[in-house]
Structures are given as C-alpha cells and as structure tokens.
Amino acid sequence: MKFSILNKYSLVVILASLFLSCSDDNNILPRSGTNKTAYEVIDKTMQEWYLWNEDLPDISSANYSSANDYFEALLADQDRWSYIANLDELLAYFENGTYTGYGLSFKFDSNNDLRVKLIFDESPLAAEGITRGWKLVNINQLAISNLSEEQILNELDKSSGIFIFENNAGEQKEITASQKVLNQNTVLKREVIPYEGTQVAYLAFDSFLGKSEDELNEAFTYFKEQNAKELVLDLRYNGGGSTYISNQLADLITGNAYVGEVYSKVSHNNSKTSENFTEAFESQASAYGFERVFVITTSGTASASEMVINGLKPYLGEDNVILIGSKTHGKPVGMYVFEEKALNLAIVPISFSITNALNEGGYFDGIPVNYEISDDLSHDFGDIDESNLKAALEYIKNKKFPVITAAKALSTNEREFKKKGLEELIDAF
C-alpha cells in the first residue's frame, strides 16, 4: 500500500539506508509460507515505483541474510537515499518528531572542538542552559580530545551520562542527564532583528514534519505583527521532509502572490508517467510576502529544503533568492512511503524527480551559493555576530557582502559524525 506522511502526497528526506530497528529483524522476515515476505514486497515495490527501475540488478534475495542487505544491493549507483525502516518508528518521527535521546546534535569545528550545532526545546540539556555553540569537553569522565569518534558515539549512546560543557567565555558546566522520549521542535529560532533601521525576520528551520505546519504559521504571524521587511531563512541543517510543508513555506514567503501557479513538477519512471503531476502554490492564512530571501545553507541542506530554493527562483528571481554558506546537498528527487503493516515495514524508495516551474532541476551536485563562508559553530542561531547571519545583515545594509577573512573562509576541516539508520534521519542524539 502506498501512503503519504501527514495525509499528503509525497515525502522528500535526506538520509542513508535505514536499518530495521527491532533486535530480531532477521527473524521476522520469513522466506516461506503463504504470507508475502519482505523480499517479495521489496521486489514488487522497486520494480513498479523505483525511479531507476530499469537499472535494477538481476540478483537473488536468497543470497542475502537480511532484507536490508538485499535492499541495499538493489540500489542504483546514484541513489544515496532509498531505505527501509521500522514503520512505527518512522511514523512517530514524521508525525511528531518523536525519538529517544538527549535532544541535541554535535559537529566538530575547524579546531577539532566538538560543539553543539543544535538543541531542541525538550532536551534535558537545554533546561540546564546549554545552547548551540557550547563545546562538549568531557563525557562520563572522559576527555573528548582523547576519544575517537566511535568512542564518543558509544558514550552518547548510553541511556544516561555526565557531561561537561564549556561556553565561549571558558565557563564550564557539569550536567548529569538521561535520554528521554521527546518531540523535536522544527522551528529552532524565530525572531525579528532590528538592524540599521530595517526589521529583519530570522527563521532557523530544521525539518519539514507534521508539526511544522503550526510552527511555521506561528512564525510568519509573528513576522507580520513585527512588520518585518527582509527574511533570513536558516536551513543549514534541514535535511527535508514533507513536500506539502515545503509548499507551505514557499507560500508563506511569497505572501499568496502566486496562488495557483506551478510550484513544482513531479516526474516518475517510464512505467508510471500517468502519475506525473504538478503542485501549485496554495493560499495560506499566515502568508506574509517577502520580495527576497537570504538562505543559509550547508551540505546538510537537502531535498524539501532545496525544493523551496528551486521553487522560489522562477518567481522571486535568481537575484532575490540569495544563498549564503556552502552548496547544498544535491537531492532533486523524492520518495513515497510504502507500508507492509504485517511486517511493521516501511519501504521508502526514490520514486520521482522534482523540477520547478521552469523545468529546472537535476542539481545532484548541489545548489551553489552566492557567498561562500564556513559554518559558524561558535554562536547561537540568531546571534548577529554569527558570521552567516552577519553576512546577510551586511548585504541588507550595504548591498554587498563583507570581505571574507581567513578565519571565516570556507573550511574543509569541519566534520560530522557518520551516523546510520534512524540516527541519520533524526540527525540528533
């Protein structure tokens, strides 16, 4: 059965292959009996709906010990995204952002310090005053500088831990915390910044999930109340989600000016051309039109995020969709979710490609930025001294970007943990 998250038509996300999370996954996938096995369901789904179904290899599932390994072997070389998942966990995340953890994410900066890159409102560490930009210097009485990435991940995987964080002033805070079931907030920060006589709306947005609809409406209602004139949209870690929410965000930004016009075009494989469709801009009660938008991006900006960028350009114009940071991930394709409830299995293959009203798409190498600058991990979202936001503010003031200093030039030394499965989807611990 094909279905869609949030009672909508399609889903676009960035993630690596997702392992089934039950401890006895291999035991619940029988190869015999009258019921369809996971392998048979995978075969049927991929042959019918996979965007690159003509490139499926001629292999036998009998040679693979798990459904996940077999599914991986089917994928085309260019496919970095298709996955299978535990259906219940997938639905819980996409409907409410629900997962179990500490509620924050980390990234190594160019000095090899491990910094908080984002933290959710329900995190037990947020309640202790930890924000984006704090360094994690010690975990469970072990110095981060002495640990490998695998060792750090092992410590973060424990159900409770003792953390020592340090802020930019060198002040340290020791916190004992336990993992909890939490719902992530998708709007990480929304505020209006008075800057040199201009009201600048700032929105840090993390994922296109079911709960995002209300969160985005609240944010744009606030921008309207504050009479904002410019918009800085921070999508630097937004890996995607629902195409419906992507459309909503574009509607809110454009102020219902293009209702009924083509937002995106969706194309399927050669055997499913009858399923091709266009998605139009829709009217939104909270819409508040901006004539241009500054978008902060990194390689973590993907899928539904890229869809917003690409979908706005035909209407606002290339010069008014201004990207700051580093080029985006490069995922001009999307997925459907196919459920097999008897196996608690979700199959999520790449099923369609996405273009804008001008038939522009195919950005597998990422969407390039107008102003290339490193991800500033030392400041919180919305801090006017954060280099990416500051670049946007200076452009608003001076109609040009600041000269990049060596310290703020794009760095290749920053790195993130290589996560697998559900952790890759959630992108947080």
What is the pLDDT at residue 92?
Answer: 85
Which residues partner with 119 through β-bridges? 104
The reply to whether 26 and 138 lie within a common domain is no
In a domain, residue 337? The reply is no
- Give the number of domains in the chain: 3
In a domain, residue 102? The reply is no
**Considering 64, 96, 128, which residue would you say is the last residue of a domain?**
96
What is the pLDDT at residue 31?
Answer: 38
The reply to whether 365 and 276 lie within a common domain is yes
The reply to whether 368 and 391 lie within a common domain is yes
pTM, two decimal places? 0.90
The reply to whether 264 and 386 lie within a common domain is yes
Of the candidates 368, 346, 344, the residue with the CA atom closest to the CA atom of residue 24: 344
Residue 296 is encoded by which pair of tokens? 């902060």
In the DSSP assignment, the letter for residue 242 is E
The reply to whether 74 and 213 lie within a common domain is no
The reply to whether 126 and 235 lie within a common domain is no
Range of the domain at 171: 108-183
Of the candidates 135, 131, 101, 109, the residue with the CA atom closest to the CA atom of residue 415: 109
What CA–CA distance (Å, rounded) separates 304 from 5? 14
What is the pLDDT at residue 428?
Answer: 85
In a domain, residue 342? The reply is no
What is the pLDDT at residue 30?
Answer: 38
In the DSSP assignment, the letter for residue 199 is E
SS3 388: helix
What is the pLDDT at residue 425?
Answer: 63
The reply to whether 248 and 316 lie within a common domain is yes
**Considering 65, 96, 127, which residue would you say is the last residue of a domain?**
96
What is the pLDDT at residue 94?
Answer: 82
The reply to whether 146 and 193 lie within a common domain is no
The reply to whether 276 and 386 lie within a common domain is yes
The reply to whether 274 and 145 lie within a common domain is no
In a domain, residue 421? The reply is no
The reply to whether 307 and 360 lie within a common domain is yes
In a domain, residue 413? The reply is no
The reply to whether 356 and 261 lie within a common domain is yes
In a domain, residue 36? The reply is yes
What is the pLDDT at residue 25?
Answer: 34
What is the pLDDT at residue 405?
Answer: 60
What CA–CA distance (Å, rounded) separates 196 from 273? 52
Sign of the dihedral through C-alpha 214, 315, 9, 298: negative
What is the pLDDT at residue 11?
Answer: 52
CATH number, residue 291: 3.90.226.10
Q: Across the 429 residues of the chain, what is the mean pLDDT of every consecutive 10-residue run?
A: 39 38 33 63 96 96 91 95 89 85 94 95 97 98 96 95 97 98 96 97 95 97 98 95 94 97 98 96 96 96 96 98 96 93 92 98 97 95 96 96 66 61 66
What is the pLDDT at residue 417?
Answer: 77
Angle value at C-alpha 331, between 327 and 335, nearest 5 degrees: 155
In a domain, residue 420? The reply is no
